[in-house]
């Protein structure tokens, strides 16, 4: 297969599928907390395995609490057995990118969930560019960029997409429904069947990362229709399947324990967020995420521009950031 060195692999969904809101991070956090609590393992040990995000979050006196959940794509932490020939080296694709950004705003009146497009044009005060690339300047830049959109950050949680592979393998794989065969040489993806299929962690990650899927046509392969939110739709299906497997494994403590261990190693928190805070988030009834409106991709580029709808959606969600 072709060695994929695309730093932004994973934008178009393979085949036609009913639209899903971007919610894989919500599912990942819920999955992690479900297995941590169900297995009853030592909380201190699990907390020690979680990483810490060095960021200064200002206290917000506004209504409620706002969580920012970020899925990171980095070549520094590849799935077990994967090499630079499959993902690109750290020299070819340096740093980490904010691949998925989900905002959860909790108030006494309820909870609102927004999914922020990774290719949205943002500014952190000194730089302007795509939201995904803001993480290259550090988490503080991403927090500032979100504040520029009117989105505050009270709690910050990151999930390593490479660690997602371990999560899937820990529960014994995931079952997904595919409309037909799909391949993406740049993401290392090749699935020749259709319908319900069981995927291991590496294949599930390849499906989630796929930006350039191809479908069979006239004895060969042709590009699938472009969908700017396709990657999120695929990720949502895979994470939903992961949740189903975790639920099925409740009667198998050894599998839950493996999953708890994998989950704790895949997450990082800001210094002010604890396992108790995560447990509170996991216990919240979350509504389906609303994708933050943005312009279509600028012709010939990935960039999407904020619109009046972007500002309105942030305000409707009850969000405001004083900077």
Residue-level pLDDT at 61: 57
DSSP state of 290: E
Residue-level pLDDT at 62: 65
> Helices (DSSP H) in 117-177: which residue ranges?
131-134, 139-148, 161-170
Crossing angle (nearest 10°) for helices 275-282 and 24-39: 110
Helix (H, G, I), strand (E, B) or coil at 37: helix
pLDDT tens-digit series, residues 133-156: 999 999 999 999 999 999 999 999
Token readout for 245 is: 């497997």
Among positive and negative, which fits the CA dihedral 53, 261, 249, 167?
positive
Residue-level pLDDT at 231: 67
Residue-level pLDDT at 245: 77
Tokens 């630079």 found at: 84
CATH assignment of 24-166+265-316, among 3.30.420.590, 3.90.740.10, 3.10.129.10, 1.10.10.10: 3.30.420.590
Residue-level pLDDT at 6: 47
pLDDT tens-digit series, residues 38-71: 544 466 777 788 889 999 997 665 678 999 988 8
Query: Low-confidence residues of the chain, pLDDT below 70?
Result: 1-43, 59-62, 74-95, 229-233, 235-236, 239-240, 243, 246-247, 249-251, 253, 256, 279, 282-288, 323
Q: How far apart are CA 104 and CA 177, in angstroms?
A: 28
Domain ranges of the chain: 24-166+265-316
CA angle 159, 9, 50 (to 5 degrees): 10
129: which strand partners?
122
Residue-level pLDDT at 191: 94
Residue-level pLDDT at 269: 92
- Phi (first) and psi of residue 71, to 5 degrees: -95, 120
Instruction: For strands 155-160 and 65-74, give the pairing.
Output: parallel
**CA dihedral angle for residue 299, residue 304, residue 305, residue 311, rounded to 10 degrees:** 150
């Amino acid at each position: 297969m072709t060695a994929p060195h695309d730093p932004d692999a994973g934008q178009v969904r393979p085949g036609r599928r009913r639209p899903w809101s971007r919610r894989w991070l919500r599912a990942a956090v819920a999955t992690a907390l479900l297995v941590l609590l169900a297995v009853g393992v030592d909380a201190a040990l699990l907390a020690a395995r979680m990483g810490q995000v060095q960021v200064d979050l200002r206290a917000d006196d506004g209504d409620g609490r706002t969580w920012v959940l970020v899925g990171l794509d980095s070549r520094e932490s590849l799935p077990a057995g994967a090499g630079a020939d499959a993902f690109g080296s750290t020299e070819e694709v340096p740093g980490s990118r904010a691949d998925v950004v989900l905002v959860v705003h909790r108030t006494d009146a309820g909870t609102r969930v927004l999914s922020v497009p990774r290719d949205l044009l943002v500014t952190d005060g000194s730089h302007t560019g795509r939201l995904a690339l803001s993480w290259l300047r550090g988490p503080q830049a991403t927090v500032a960029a979100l504040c520029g959109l009117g989105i505050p950050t009270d709690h910050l949680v990151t999930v390593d997409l490479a660690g997602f592979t371990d999560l899937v393998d820990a529960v014994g794989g995931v079952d997904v429904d595919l409309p037909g065969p799909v391949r993406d040489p740049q993401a290392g993806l090749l699935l020749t069947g259709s319908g319900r299929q069981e995927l291991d962690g590496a294949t599930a990650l390849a499906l989630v990362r796929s930006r350039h899927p191809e479908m069979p046509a006239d004895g060969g392969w042709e590009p699938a229709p472009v969908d700017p939110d396709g990657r999120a739709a695929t990720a949502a299906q895979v994470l939903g399947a992961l949740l189903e497997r975790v639920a099925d494994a409740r009667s198998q403590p050894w599998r839950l324990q493996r999953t708890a261990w994998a989950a704790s190693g895949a997450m990082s928190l800001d210094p002010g967020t604890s396992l108790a805070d995560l447990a509170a988030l996991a216990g919240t009834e979350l509504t389906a995420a609303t994708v933050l409106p943005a312009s279509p991709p600028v012709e010939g580029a990935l960039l999407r521009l904020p619109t009046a709808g972007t500002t309105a959606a942030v305000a409707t969600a009850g969000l405001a950031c004083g900077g």
